[in-house]
Amino acid sequence: MTAIYVDADACPVKAEIYRVAERYGLKVHVVSNSYLNVPRDPRIELVVVSDRFDAADDWIAERAGPDDIVVTADIPLADRSLKAGASVIGNTGVPFTPASIGMAMANRELLSNLRAMGEVTGGPKPMTQRDRSRFLSALDEAIQKIRRRA
């Protein structure tokens, strides 16, 4: 059965995930380093992992498989999830694919180096309604693709 794994600590689209999962009757694993408020629904499970670096990523990567969807902005987790066969969607609705993950990893490394040199400051742009709409479309499309395969 398809499950959605959410890298939840900084995920801005949790409410959208819950709505879509309810519509399709899917299990959602909300994985975080600390307690989060989640809806009281037997299909939504809060998984609180240790505060060890990458603990949430490791928990997700060890469980996600070919019929699952991972929602994350973390590029190394996206890479690990893709290698396990999972569908991966970024928080802004841009899917990670085997064809795009190499460039995403390289871009991440470049930005990391620029930040270390003091060249790049600031974080990601704020979420827009367009991003939320794109996310909902990408999540629906990923679910439909998995269902057609099954």
pLDDT of amino acid 23: 96
Q: Degrees (nearest 5) of the Cα angle 30, 102, 62?
A: 35
Least confident of 42-46, 70-74, 110-114, 141-145: 110-114
Fold that domain 3-149 belongs to in CATH? Rossmann fold (3.40.50)
**Cα–Cα distance measured from residue 123 to residue 133, given in angstroms and rounded to the nearest whole number:** 21
**pTM score:** 0.88
The phi-psi region of residue 34 (left if phi > 0; otherwise alpha if psi is between -120 and 50; otherwise beta) is beta
Tell me the average pLDDT across 28-52. 96
The partner residues of 69 in beta bridges, in order of sequence, read 4, 87
Q: What are phi and psi of 46, to 5 degrees?
A: -85, 125
Q: For the beta carbon of residue 22, count every other beta carbon within 10 angstroms.
A: 14
The phi-psi region of residue 53 (left if phi > 0; otherwise alpha if psi is between -120 and 50; otherwise beta) is beta
